[in-house]
A and B are shown apart, each in its own frame.
Chain A
């Protein structure tokens, strides 16, 4: 017996919009079943992870804090994925951006002025871009697959982070803790809502998503990215260079991941610490897909994934769910989404084996 996938001529548009929602609902149902079998309160786990963050207004600010980096990174990745460029090392670019911003902060530690944060932002973006430089070069010059190179560089970034905070950047006043000094007041993101923990990262994320939407739908660059992703030969015929496009989308996704790193280090952390790599770069891959590679979709998907992060923490304390449960839910969501996509785009035919 053989199973064959035949591409549908025109996938249903309704289903393309419906699959992300279906994937989330199915994740809840399957998650409840799986955790019940594992001996936890399955329904409770789903309620705590998916609903409590929404119903409990105290958690809303947590959502904003967690969603911001996911959205910023996810928007960058979705632009690259549109062009068929598969940067999955955003975590490394996020760390590199955070490190570059930290470096800038340490360099300017005894200065003051409004310009310090923009400087750190630029440093963060450049750091993220530096981390895609090698994958972009290898891809465009030698056709080396960027999936592997970008992923592998993530581990290099983690090692670099550890080296720096255990070594040259270690704060002299931290009693041996591997962390940098606290940034000065000019180097910390302002709070935008008084009395909350919501900092400038959240509005920046929304702004970036809207700008990306405009650019992708209205500009020649957005058109170029879509063309290169859909039909490279037609792109070349239309006068678009594939290599230039690869460079641009990698630099954008790297730069945005780096910016997210800067916003994290100058925001919630205020210093560089070993806990800095929180997996945002990997989760943002799910965000990009769940958002259908559309900037506004990514904005929504970023909030959905933030819910699972915040809810995961809730579930840990209330019903003792292990930390890994969140990862499981997220992975299930991506898996179901991709599987749903296959069903929407392909007809599946089962063919009986022909006798030779």
Chain B
């Protein structure tokens, strides 16, 4: 069940919100868990048992861990991490490793291994990271473990962030699991507003770009002109941002209506002045998870040897790319960003120090757009051919792409993506978002109704409605 579907919007969500609103505080977690289980089972009936099995096992391992001392503590931590990673590795990467192994053995006329296609349980990449954060946070004694398995299962399966994040670390939500204000109407209105903004971003903007991007990426690269290739990749650039940030907005908004405060996941990433900054603004919860649970344990910036720091950086970004998908294109995309991050530290930041901000933003945007080619392509040869189309300077007529609707949506997307470059806009919008003034609340309600109506009209009328980050 996706948030931008009629069944969620007009079925699951209102029924959930009404019951959740009126149910006694003591049973809110139980009800939220039941709803989350239904939500997950509806989308992945074959995987719910696996998810629950791993959750129960993990809960008890970490319970023992919290009561243990010395080396046992470390062993239990590794048991938990390995348990979670083994599920992820099996479901997400087995096919990839076997395909690559077969490619190698075929070079030596070896026999092929075949185990059939393993389906990916939805949300596994996200909830695996949350589970690891639970084990590590308990191990580091940052927070106490949860007493109730209901609360733990709810933390992992809570439907707003279950499938595509944000990745909520245990220490960020531990207290809210049993102590949150779910009767605050400012939070509820703000949450609803945030949800409708996310829905509109996804349905009204991302989908419009998605149709064009999918069309252009389905064309044979031999027929693709430079102008078409640029339209295609720019459409994808906006599609992925509005799709993923829209989903995050919806998740954060839903959480807020329930009394949770989830971490932010995006902060105008296309305004970044270098790739390091991009990763502080794009998929923030993944970046900070990687930093705290991988980069720092590897030694982070603290190593005396510079090469070691660069190695750590590159490794973290390759793993980050691989986390997005079991394909060489994702690994290369991670490495591509890793290389720019190292270049930032080596010389780029120094060189560009005195450049005007807008030049740095344009250049960073250009690098990011080029990175998306790897991310979007089904294979490396396709990506290489696509790059060729981008840079052969073979321009043709693109009138057929430039419909009124597309032009207007593009202008809106540009304004939203780059609008907060103006301090006046960003400050006022932040004030608007956080304000609890009655007039502002009225404006938010009116805007929410308007956006929900527009998005619903589009949803009922069209069939194109994919979520990019569901596959990760």
Q: Do chains A and B interact in one complex?
A: no
Contact surface of B with A, Cβ cutoff 8 Å: none
Using a CB–CB distance below 8 Å, which chain A residues touch chain B? none
